[in-house]
Structure 1
């Protein structure tokens, strides 16, 4: 895909109800510009997918969409097979809708757990010492992200944590040595928070309190401390995906309170 193609596909994602961020395209491409694929028939785009190589051992699959008029004709699966070749022998991870789990399993993907999207009309007001991330914080933020995810994804993280008009990473702790953080990005509807990495519930709530507008969405692995915490302040699950891996799963060590960055890139 070109950058313009990716912007178009994110509009497709918006039409599917996936609610992508307003400025996702540039930071997605920063991860791996060659990892976004489009299928065309006579110049007409019909299907899309991303297989982003984050490092030499790990890739992430997302943005798998076939336009409604072309579904059921094999175009999406043909693109799926071609795009997976980009990953080589890397482990490939995805967050897929639960009803497609059996299809993904036929391609060698193994279920590892569920991610639940939680939503709330507005986050309760709370005192917070969180501040916008500065350039001096980026090395520490990227190191925390590598530890939590179990692999390097520095191209994506560097772009994701950089501030824009619609995306802010809030941090707790001294400049250059943050102890917790969360990225907030404006989307077609409301704001999504992710990733969120915090050691304590107080840190997590302080980061949630910086949500700039309603509604608020956050993608939380099932059975975690953060799932219980967001539920206690009124968040409710509205959507779920299946986290699956083809190959050895990354061995991340996230803190007690953590949320996924984005279902498209992990």
Structure 2
């Protein structure tokens, strides 16, 4: 019997749904609209590995621009692990991002393997879990993000991410099962946050804010959009002590962590103003 060929190619939009489903099976708890959101970031950035006609491996290699890319969705079907298929699709993903500073949020157990491919640890991201509900009346400075122009949002977002991401932002901020708020002071955007519905509960991310007080206002506004029966999740850079304190102040507990790693030097981002990471899958 002839051995089936292993073929790696770019995913179709429908196949991104499969990657999301596999991520759910791995316990990653994706958002309800994540497939459309992530595909908007780079339609050519998703790879699938097929053994004959059977999908057995996925990975995303999002190229934001000529200098920065992000790896995620690195999954091999359990029965095909340890057979060399994973490393093939991994290497293809890295080759597709040649010339970029490549980032990932890797599970702690895989850190040493990622180091073999040239990734270096920058810091840990910590996932906190808590309950929704509560919150005081919204501050007059908090507005729905839909009231602001995409140019204003893109201009503010650019300080917090290593590359422009306008197509992704437009989709992320307008996804159907999400709420998004900004803080406006003297006509200027000084922070924004998003909460989106997931398979289980709701994830908050990002929260970017110019001060700890503004971050807390956004957190409370987002938290109050769901009920106290709903679980909420917030992923914070451990190096931001104020973000850790915010999560702990509202009785959130650690449920998961990742290693943020880069192949080149760590980008100069204002980590002290990042209170919630957008996504472990695409940055």
Within the candidate set 161, 168, 171, 1:149 is matched to 161
Given the alignment of the two structures, is residue 13 of structure 1 paired with residue 23 of structure 2, yes or no? yes
Measured after TM superposition, the shift of residue 247 of structure 1 is 1.7
Within the candidate set 40, 45, 49, 1:35 is matched to 45
Given the alignment of the two structures, is residue 250 of structure 1 paired with residue 250 of structure 2, yes or no? no
Q: Distance in 1 between matches of 2:274 and 2:68?
A: 23
Q: Distance in 2 between matches of 1:18 and 1:110?
A: 23
8 Å CA contact retained: 2:37, 2:175: no
Given the alignment of the two structures, is residue 265 of structure 1 paired with residue 282 of structure 2, yes or no? yes
Query: SS in structure 1 opposite 2:149?
Result: helix
Q: Distance in 1 between matches of 2:114 and 2:104?
A: 9
User: Equivalences for 1:163-178 in 2 at 5 Å?
Assistant: 163-173=174-184, 177-178=188-189
Aligned residue number for residue 226 of structure 1: 243
Instruction: Name which one, 1 or 2, has greater alpha-carbon Rg.
Output: 2
Measured after TM superposition, the shift of residue 172 of structure 1 is 1.4
Deviates more, 1:249-258 or 1:90-99: 249-258
- Note the alpha carbon deviations across 1:2-30, whole angstroms, 9 max, x for none: 11100111011011110010001112111
Query: SS in structure 1 opposite 2:270?
Result: coil
Measured after TM superposition, the shift of residue 144 of structure 1 is 2.0
Aligned residue number for residue 186 of structure 1: 197
Structure 1: which 5+ runs fail to align? none
User: Equivalences for 1:10-159 in 2 at 5 Å?
Assistant: 10-129=20-139, 130-134=142-146, 136-159=148-171
Q: Distance in 2 between matches of 1:174 and 1:200?
A: 12
Within the candidate set 193, 209, 216, 2:232 is matched to 216
Query: SS in structure 2 opposite 1:173?
Result: strand
Q: Distance in 1 between matches of 2:152 and 2:275?
A: 16
Query: SS in structure 1 opposite 2:148?
Result: helix
Q: Distance in 1 between matches of 2:61 and 2:177?
A: 25
TM-score (norm 2): 0.89
Deviates more, 1:173-182 or 1:107-116: 173-182
Structure 1 vs Structure 2 CA RMSD:
1.7
8 Å CA contact retained: 1:150, 1:253: no
Q: Distance in 1 between matches of 2:100 and 2:156?
A: 22
Q: Distance in 1 between matches of 2:185 and 2:149?
A: 9
Q: Distance in 1 between matches of 2:43 and 2:58?
A: 14
- Note the alpha carbon deviations across 1:78-124, whole angstroms, 9 max, x for none: 10001111112101000000000000000000011100000102254
Query: In 2 relative to 1, CA 22–66 (structure 1 residues): closer, same or farther, beyond 3 Å?
Result: same
Measured after TM superposition, the shift of residue 51 of structure 1 is 0.5
Within the candidate set 177, 180, 203, 2:214 is matched to 203
Q: Distance in 2 between matches of 1:150 and 1:85?
A: 20
Measured after TM superposition, the shift of residue 134 of structure 1 is 1.9
TM-score (norm 1): 0.94
8 Å CA contact retained: 1:114, 1:243: yes
Query: SS in structure 1 opposite 2:208?
Result: strand
Query: SS in structure 2 opposite 1:218?
Result: strand
Measured after TM superposition, the shift of residue 175 of structure 1 is 10
Query: SS in structure 2 opposite 1:251?
Result: coil
Structure 2: which 5+ runs fail to align? 1-10
